[in-house]
Structure 1
Amino acid sequence: MKKLLLPLGFAALMLSSCANKPQAELTLSGLNPADFKTEVNNQPVSLYTLKNKAGMEVCITNFGARIVSIMVPNRNGEMKDVVLGFDNINDYINVPSDFGAAIGRYANRIKDGKFELDGETIQLPQNNFGHSLHGGPQGWQYQVYEAKPINGTAIAMTRTSPDGDANYPGNVVATVTYTLTEDNAIEIKYEATTDKKTIINMTNHSYFNLSGDASKPVTDDILYINADNFTPVDSTFMTTGEILSVAETPMNFTTPKAIGAEINNYDYEQLKNGNGYDHNWVLNTNGDAKQLAAKVTSPESGISVEVYTNEPGIQVYTGNFLDGTVTGKKDIVYNQRTGICLEVQHYPDSPNKPDWPSVVLEPGQTYNSVCIYKFTVEK
């Protein structure tokens, strides 16, 4: 095959032309929207950006309705990305993770993947110690939501889940609306309807690292949880049905303390069972989304996130199973405890514990849940 020789001047002109081609505009967090543009199951996937007048930026993909990045200022006014995730859609598709996802139909665990509804036993996919976790191996975090931008600070993501999806009954239409407020809060509203009696429990699964450096653990961060009680778990992370006091235990965060202060105290059975903190706290807020449910502060950056919700519980998970096998944004390896999840929810396995708040959704009813992540800076 003959080589095509170009005149030197022409080659230089071509190089100059390539160099002058406009580059894709990156987000403030350094993401390239082109790296998120694809199709999954013949449905379009993209990256969407919300910005407020204060300069805060939130990037979201409709694959799993996932928060990909959150840019907020630290105490020096420097913008920091405070959530874990990937910088391209292929990793979200190919690397199993819950980073930033809208979880459904049922967040957290259902024992043995079974529950009864009107006398009928329903068997769900089992994917975690024999239990069904986060909707099973094909939960909504791995599905495409229909994205409908509302304006520059709000977007709605809708998932239509057919009757029998992962064996859950009912045709369910669920919408997750993300709104970035002018006071640097992300308001997440969940709504869902069904044509057949079913269960639902949705949440957001963002991993926060408020230092803005995901190579560092979150164990020095200061955690407050507005809860006098929690639901203990067995060695398979399943709730036992008890509700216990946090008093005089490592589960007590009613007075703020470092996440890592007692996290490795495996003489305490609950920390051994959870491999650290991976528990549901019973909130004192009584469904009042105006009351502070939880707060985390990074002493290094000064960045805090406050959590508000109408849900009765919050699962606090300290990234215990991050093990260095996953590389995320900026080529940072995610090691153990480099993120904390603050998942507002009904309690795990509620369908099998009739004394706990109900997760049943009937035809004609609308499921409504709210989670607010408000970011502040402490000097």
Structure 2
Amino acid sequence: MGNIKNYLGIAGGCLLALASCAGNKTASRTVSGLDPAAFDTTLNGKKVELITLKNNNGMEVCLTNYGGRVVSLCVPDKEGKPTDVVLGYDNIRQYADTLNSPSDYGSSVGRYANRIKNAQITVGGKVYKLRVNDNENTLHGGGNTGWLHQVYDVQSKTDSSVTFAITAPDGENGFPGTVKATATYLVKNNNTLDITFKATTDKETVINMTNHSYFNLNGDPSKVGTDEVMYINADKFTPSDAKYIPTGEIRDVTGTPMDFRKPHAIQETITDTTFDQIHNATGYDHNWCLNTFKNGKGDDTQVAASLFSPKTGILLEVFTNEPGLQVYTGNFQGTGIPCKHGIKYPKHVSVCFESQKYPDSPTKIVQKTKGWEISNPYLKPGQTYYSHLVYKFSVKK
């Protein structure tokens, strides 16, 4: 989701207290072409590493505990060729350099994904001022001091799963409560990446976690990806103002470029700048109200969204228990920064599917905005936050 440089800011240069990497240590490259030694280091006093998960059907997922990130995700295309379908960097130096290569690529975002208006929340009748990092708002928990730029502990790992853990102190970026959270990534034999987020708190707070992987299924992220075919299982969306803050309205998608109930190529509607929402965002960067969430519960067995590449035959289906899905089409890419394997990503090269509470839910809940009650982000002591996100891959020939 948008405006990466703005929200990360320039203070992140202090993170680059990197110890020397693996020196003469050698390791086999991953299927996606990554060198694990380029991630083997110490950052802010904590060990950082590349973790590789695999199944028996040609799927490989590489992750780093820096930000709990997906670095690469390889699945077979229609010819059986391993294809890396996510964007990112191929070394820890660029991920940690928030001054020169700011990015939320593949991260486990917390403690609050998306934007909070005017960088403040009300919890238990008390107003808390948050870190400002996106215009006058808070985005992704505070940007370069949020969880996406913290080193998670590796709580457990196997050949097919890893659990990252983080403890966020009371007052972190202005948020109340000490929060203990985990992000578990599991690769299944049906070529599914199953992600579970959990959190507890010692003081009432707000929680909204998601994964921020940028998908390009075409096999060539040097080219625009808007020829991919997208489906979103939603009758309504939440319009935003020019600063990406939801207005509070919940609008029907019928007759607008927001209607993806019938799958179509993104390029068919993303160029319609006569529509204010696309004009303001220079593409899609919006929350859809999922039809898979009914009666206060999300059905994570039903497809919430999908993306298909006619070039590779790769189909991605997204499942979640959350009420909303922020879909972002890489509108702030095209910076000219060399990324994974030296490729410079163009604008609109990718699509993010961020399952979550609606953006700015704390404000709207306090204001009792109609229709937003299903997106309650508040977590109290004794409760456990649970969010489920699934990326399932298959091939259509």
* TM-score calculated relative to the size of structure 1: 0.93
**Are residues 1:294 and 2:305 paired?**
yes
- Separation in 2, partners of 1:326, 1:370: 32
Q: Which is worse superposed, 184-193 or 23-32?
A: 23-32
User: Contact 1:233 / 1:274 at 8 angstroms: preserved in 2?
Assistant: no
- 1:325: how far off? 2.5
**Are residues 1:343 and 2:354 paired?**
yes
| SS in structure 1 of the partner of residue 261 of structure 2 | coil
- Residue 128 of structure 2 corresponds to which residue in structure 1? 122
Give deviations 1:37-75, integer Å, cap 9, x for gaps.
111110110000000011210000000000000010000
- For 2:120, give the aligned amino acid: K
- Residue 18 of structure 1 corresponds to which residue in structure 2? none
User: Contact 1:148 / 1:155 at 8 angstroms: preserved in 2?
Assistant: yes
- 1:324: how far off? 3.0
User: Contact 2:26 / 2:37 at 8 angstroms: preserved in 1?
Assistant: no
- 1:23: how far off? 4.5
- For 2:316, give the aligned amino acid: V
**Structure 2 counterpart of 1:229, from 219, 225, 236:** 236
**Are residues 1:305 and 2:306 paired?**
no
**Structure 2 counterpart of 1:65, from 63, 68, 80:** 68
Give deviations 1:130-165, integer Å, cap 9, x for gaps.
110001131110000001333110100001101111
- Separation in 1, partners of 2:306, 2:185: 20
**Structure 2 counterpart of 1:92, from 95, 103, 113:** 95
- Separation in 1, partners of 2:109, 2:301: 23
**Structure 1 counterpart of 2:139, from 105, 115, 133:** 133
| SS in structure 2 of the partner of residue 135 of structure 1 | helix
Give deviations 1:65-98, integer Å, cap 9, x for gaps.
0000001000000001000000000000002100
**Are residues 1:277 and 2:288 paired?**
no
- Separation in 1, partners of 2:67, 2:224: 26
Q: Identity of paired residues, percent?
A: 50
- Separation in 2, partners of 1:145, 1:271: 36
- For 1:228, give the aligned amino acid: D
- Separation in 2, partners of 1:325, 1:193: 40
Compared with structure 1, are the counterparts of its residues 162 and 217 closer, same or farther at alpha carbon in structure 2 (3 Å cutoff)? same
User: Contact 1:227 / 1:284 at 8 angstroms: preserved in 2?
Assistant: yes
The correspondence of residues 172-183 of structure 1 with structure 2, limited to 5 A, is 172-183=179-190
- Where do 5+ consecutive residues of structure 1 fail to align? 1-20
| SS in structure 1 of the partner of residue 278 of structure 2 | helix
- Separation in 1, partners of 2:335, 2:78: 29
| SS in structure 1 of the partner of residue 142 of structure 2 | coil
- Residue 202 of structure 2 corresponds to which residue in structure 1? 195
- Residue 79 of structure 2 corresponds to which residue in structure 1? 76
- Separation in 1, partners of 2:140, 2:214: 15
- Separation in 1, partners of 2:394, 2:321: 21
Give deviations 1:16-35, integer Å, cap 9, x for gaps.
xxxxx995211111111110
- Residue 369 of structure 1 corresponds to which residue in structure 2? 387
Q: Which stretches of structure 1, 4 residues or longer, exceed 3 Å deviation after superposition?
A: none
- For 2:37, give the aligned amino acid: A
- Residue 27 of structure 2 corresponds to which residue in structure 1? 24
- Where do 5+ consecutive residues of structure 2 fail to align? 1-23
**Structure 2 counterpart of 1:352, from 363, 374, 385:** 363
Q: CA RMSD in A?
A: 1.1
**Structure 2 counterpart of 1:329, from 335, 340, 360:** 340
- Residue 13 of structure 1 corresponds to which residue in structure 2? none
| SS in structure 1 of the partner of residue 230 of structure 2 | strand
- Separation in 1, partners of 2:25, 2:150: 33
- Separation in 1, partners of 2:203, 2:26: 50
- Residue 320 of structure 1 corresponds to which residue in structure 2? 331
- Separation in 2, partners of 1:33, 1:112: 41
User: Contact 2:236 / 2:289 at 8 angstroms: preserved in 1?
Assistant: yes
| SS in structure 1 of the partner of residue 141 of structure 2 | coil
- For 1:38, give the aligned amino acid: T
- Separation in 2, partners of 1:327, 1:311: 34
- Report how many aligned residue pairs link the two structures: 359
- For 2:351, give the aligned amino acid: I
- Residue 158 of structure 1 corresponds to which residue in structure 2? 165
- Separation in 1, partners of 2:122, 2:333: 34
Compared with structure 1, are the counterparts of its residues 314 and 22 closer, same or farther at alpha carbon in structure 2 (3 Å cutoff)? closer
- 1:327: how far off? 1.4
